Amino acid sequence: MKYADEFRDKAIALGLARAIRSEANPQRSYRFMEFCGGHTHAISRYGLEDILPKNVRMIHGPGCPVCVLPAGRIDMAIRLADRPEVILCVYGDLMRVPGSQGASLLKAKARGADVRMVYSTVDAIRIAEENPEQEVVFFAIGFETTTPPTAILIRRAEKKQLENFSVVCNHVRTPPAMQNILESPDTRSIRRVEIDGFVGPAHVSIIIGTEPYEVFAEEFGKPVVISGFEPLDMMQAILMLVRQVNENRNEVENQYSRAVTRDGNPRAKEEVSNIFELRDQFEWRGLGLVPYSGLKLKQTYARFDAEVRFALNELRVPDNPACECGAILRGVKKPVDCKLFGTVCTPETPVGSCMVSSEGACAAHWTYGRFRDRQQKRAS
Contact with other proteins (CB under 8 A): which of 92, 132, 266, 318?
92
Number of residues that make up the chain: 380
Q: Quick one: which of 26, 371, 378, 379 contacts other proteins (CB under 8 A)?
A: 371
| Closer to other proteins by Cβ: residue 1 or 311 | 1
Contact 338, 324 (CB under 8 A): yes
Please tell me whether residue 34 binds other proteins under the rule CB under 8 A: no
**CB of residue 146 to other proteins, shortest distance in Å:** 6
Q: Is 19 in the site for other proteins (CB under 8 A)?
A: no
Name which of 95 and 308 has its Cβ closer to other proteins: 95
The 10 Å CB-count burial string (b at 16+, else e) for 127-137 is: bbeeeeebbbb
> Residue 285 carries which DSSP code?
T
Among 32, 33, 34, 44, which residue interacts with other proteins (rule: CB under 8 A)?
A: 44
Closest CA to 225 of 256, 200, 260, 188: 200
- Scanning 27-35, 88-96, 244-252, 286-294 for contacts with other proteins by CB under 8 A, the matching segment is 88-96
Min dist. Cβ of residue 316 to other proteins (A): 25
Binding string, residues 233-252; x marks residues near other proteins by CB under 8 A: --------------------
Tell me whether residue 237 or residue 327 sits nearer to other proteins (CB atom).
237
Query: Phi/psi of residue 57, each to 5°?
Result: -115, 135
Q: Pick from 24, 58, 66, 217 the residue near other proteins by CB under 8 A.
A: 66
- Which residues between 338 and 357 bind other proteins (CB under 8 A)? 346-348, 357
3-class state of residue 213 by DSSP: helix
φ/ψ bin of 235: left (φ > 0), alpha (ψ from -120 to 50), beta (otherwise): alpha
142 or 209: whose CB is closer to other proteins? 142
Q: How far is the CB of 168 from other proteins (least distance, A)?
A: 15
Distance CA 334, CA 1 (A): 35
Find the radius of gyration of the CA atoms of the chain.
Answer: 21
CA distance 80 to 70: 16
| Binding residues among 100-139 for other proteins as defined by CB under 8 A | 106, 116-119, 123
**Beta carbons of 335 and 353 less than 8 angstroms apart:** no
Between 156 and 316, CB nearer to other proteins: 156
- Of 70-78, 301-309, 321-329, 360-368, the segment contacting other proteins by CB under 8 A is 360-368
> Among residues 131, 136, 77, 132, which one has the least CA distance to residue 104?
77
CB of 204 to other proteins, least distance (A): 8
Q: Which residue in 32, 35, 46, 138 binds other proteins (CB under 8 A)?
A: 46
How far apart are CB 219 and other proteins at their closest, in Å? 27
What whole-number distance in Å separates Cα of residue 311 and Cα of residue 318?
22
Nearer to other proteins, 25 or 349 (CB): 349
Among 6, 18, 23, 47, binds other proteins (CB under 8 A): 47
- Would you tell me the crossing angle of helices 266-275 and 147-159 to the nearest 10 degrees? 60
Nearer to other proteins, 341 or 368 (CB): 368
Among 304, 301, 366, which residue's Cα sits nearest to residue 334?
366
CB of 221 to other proteins, least distance (A): 29
Helix (H, G, I), strand (E, B) or coil at 247: coil
For every residue of 27-59, DSSP letters joined together read TS-EEEEEEEHHHHHHHHHHTHHHHS-TTEEEE
Q: How far is the CB of 203 from other proteins (least distance, A)?
A: 6
DSSP per position, 290-331 = EET-BEEE-GGGGGGBHHHHTT--PPP-PPPTT--HHHHHTT
Which of these ranges, 89-97, 158-166, 236-244, 247-255, lies near other proteins under the rule CB under 8 A? 89-97
368 is an interface residue for other proteins by CB under 8 A:
yes
Chain residues binding other proteins by CB under 8 A are 1, 4, 8, 10, 13-14, 17, 37-38, 41, 44-51, 65-66, 91-93, 95-96, 106, 116-119, 123, 141-143, 145-146, 203, 231, 346-348, 357-359, 366-372, 374
